[in-house]
Amino acid sequence: MCLCAIIVSIMERLISGTSRLGLNLSAEQFDQFEVYYRELIDWNTRMNLTAITGYENVQVNHFLDALTVTPVWQERENCDRPRVIDVGTGGGIPGVPLRIAFPVMRLVLLESTAKKAAFLHHLCGQLGLDEVETVVGRAEEIAHRKQYREGFDLVLSRAVAPLPTLVELTLPFCSVGGFFIGHKRGDIDTELEQATAAISTLGGELREVRAVDLPEFPDHRCLVIIEKVSPTPEKYPRRPGIPAKRPLHS
Ligand code: SAM
């Protein structure tokens, strides 16, 4: 049996999920996911990267969950080499699975914890991913650096903060005409309502809340899609900790 067949037969949950998403990944890409799984579990014994460690669970709740952005992104992408940033990426979710699936992406992984960033740096080396930059720092500070501010076509973030805080941490990275896509779960009506003024203040417009319609996720997951329609005022994001402490509520 060739190596490809072995790999394809292993990542069954990811294979069935990605095909439902209309994604046709190669044996080499599944091989990269296999390496990702092994590295994540190995480093997780020495640091707190994830509470999800089971082989099937990681395939579904990390890798496939990250890739649910795919249909939305494919509908909206309008450039050959999109610049993408994952804010508060932790162990690389959702940025790394998307970069494995879409090698054309130029990806920045932003993480405030240096140890996690060291893992990401190691991981990208093991996966042979080029044009992936790991940045250690807080979004509140990094978003004021010229080379990152409004420099991305797509801004991603999962499990970092409630929406009123999250939009302040993410929209300043988004170029005008670009999009923020945030993974959320459960009833987010209140969060959305509370984020309305912040989205507008930061130069965004809510385009859609798209339900993730896959049998793997019966727990009401959705993607919040915000388009950047005007520049973010210079004063945002505010100092580290302030967006969480005093969110820009409606
Ligand atoms: N996005 C990953 C996921 O879904 O598995 C990690 C989620 S984890 C709950 C949140 C991560 O965001 C942590 O690794 C934390 O260090 C990072 N983080 C929190 N606030 C941040 C900030 N202001 N700037 C950069 N990273 C931040």
Q: Where are the domains of the chain?
A: 73-245
What are the CA-CA distances from residue 24 to residues 6, 16, 66 (Å)? 17, 10, 16
Band (8; pLDDT cuts 50, 70, 90): very low
Nearest CA to 143 out of 120, 167, 121 is that of 167
Residue 250: per-residue pLDDT: 62
In 3D, which of 108, 139, 145, 121 has the Cα closest to residue 39?
Answer: 121
Write out pLDDT tens, residues 125-144. Answer: 999 999 999 999 999 999 99
Cβ(169) – ligand 1 distance below 6 Å? yes
Q: pLDDT > 90: what percent of the chain?
A: 92
Look at residue 141 in the predicted model and tell me its pLDDT.
Answer: 98
Global pTM reads 0.95
Per-residue confidence at 77, pLDDT binned at 50, 70, 90? confident
Architecture of domain 73-245: 3-Layer(aba) Sandwich (3.40)
Q: Ligand 1 centre from 5 Cα, in Å? A: 36
Cα separation of 207 and 228, whole Å? 10
Residues 6 or more apart whose CB falls under 8 angstroms from that of 50 comprise 40, 44, 58, 62, 90, 91
The CA distances from residue 179 to 58, 118, 204, in Å, are 27, 28, 9
CA–CA gap between residue 114 and residue 110 (Å, rounded): 10
Ligand 1 pocket, 170 CB below 6 A? no
Omega within 30 of 0 (cis) for the link into 94: yes
Distances, alpha carbon 193 to alpha carbons 22, 180, 227, in Å: 32, 17, 17
Residue 79 pLDDT class (50, 70, 90 cuts): confident
Q: Whose CA is nearest to atom 13 of ligand 1?
A: 90
**How do residues 165-178 score in pLDDT, each as one tens digit?**
999 999 999 999 99
Average pLDDT rounded to a whole number, residues 19-34: 96
Mean pLDDT, the chain, whole residue set: 94
Tens digit of pLDDT for each residue in 96-121? 999 999 999 999 999 999 999 999 99
Distance in Å, CA 207 to ligand 1 centroid: 24
Q: Report CA-CA distances (Å) from 100 to 16, 23, 36, 216.
A: 17, 12, 10, 21
Q: Count CB neighbours of 8 within 10 A.
A: 16
Q: Which of 49, 112, 148, 223 to mutate to test the pocket of ligand 1 (most atoms within 8 A of CB)?
A: 112
Ligand 1 neighbourhood includes 113 CB (under 6 angstroms)? yes
Give the number of other Cβ atoms within 10 Å of residue 165's Cβ.
23
Total length of the chain: 250
Give the confidence band of 242 by pLDDT, cuts at 50, 70, 90.
Answer: very high
Q: What is the pLDDT of residues 174-198, one digit of tens each?
A: 999 999 999 999 999 999 999 999 9
Across 56-75, average pLDDT? 95
Q: Does the C-beta of 194 come closer than 6 Å to ligand 1?
A: no
